[in-house]
Homo-oligomer: A and B are copies of this chain.
Amino acid sequence: MADRRPARTAPDTRHVSDDALRQLVGFNIKRAMNVIAGDLRTTLTPFELRMVTYSALTLIGDNPSLSQAQLAAALSVERPNLVNVIEELAGRGLISRDRVPTDRRTNALRLTTQGARLLAQATEAVRAHEAQLLDGIDPADIATLRAVLGRIERNGTERI
């Protein structure tokens, strides 16, 4: 009779319970966020944008002549972390960065025509990506999701 040896070792597929972690709403939010961030990265790659550069473009588009300090506050990031982001977007010709005559410390950030066009294209892709993630979910439940997330944000004690 022939040898019957396991030619290889199967990966350990025994079921692992994460029920205790799943009881925590924060854990479920983190897992959903991981999935969203991964998908969004893929969605933005063709535009050579990251989450932070896309968010910055959106805020600059909505608030022309925004300063970097204002943008940092709106994005909840520290000012130094924004310098390279701004440098990247300006270097690609997507935003202009003009010194303000009345306060020569500050930069007025604005979308260029090219930046506005790229933002419009990226936004269309992001909206489509969101629609896919939310596919099959009752719009009323999505409204509830928004309301609950907003309430959690306000209930938090950390300055973010």
State the A residues within 8 Å of B (CB). 9, 11-12, 14, 16-21, 24-40, 42, 51, 55, 58-59, 61-63, 66-67, 69-71, 73-74, 76, 103, 106, 123, 126-127, 130, 132-137, 141-142, 144-153, 155-160
B146 x A28 contact (CB < 8 A): yes
Sample (29) of A-B pairs whose CB atoms are under 8 Å apart:
A12-B106, A17-B62, A18-B59, A18-B62, A19-B62, A20-B61, A21-B55, A24-B126, A25-B130, A26-B36, A27-B55, A28-B146, A28-B150, A29-B32, A30-B36, A30-B37, A31-B160, A32-B150, A32-B153, A35-B156, A35-B158, A42-B157, A132-B157, A136-B151, A136-B155, A137-B151, A141-B148, A142-B148, A145-B148
How many identical subunits does the complex contain?
2
Pick the contact of A66 from B16, B27, B66 — CB < 8 Å?
Answer: B16
B28 x A74 contact (CB < 8 A): no
With contacts A12-B106, A18-B74, A155-B133 taken as known, whether A149 is within 8 angstroms of B59 at the C-beta atoms is no
Residue of B nearest to A160 (CB): B34
Q: What residues of chain B lie closer than 8 Å to A35, measured between beta carbons? A: 152-153, 156, 158, 160
Q: What residues of chain B lie closer than 8 Å to A37, measured between beta carbons? A: 26, 30
A152 x B21 contact (CB < 8 A): no
B38 x A160 contact (CB < 8 A): yes
A21 x B58 contact (CB < 8 A): yes
A149 x B29 contact (CB < 8 A): yes
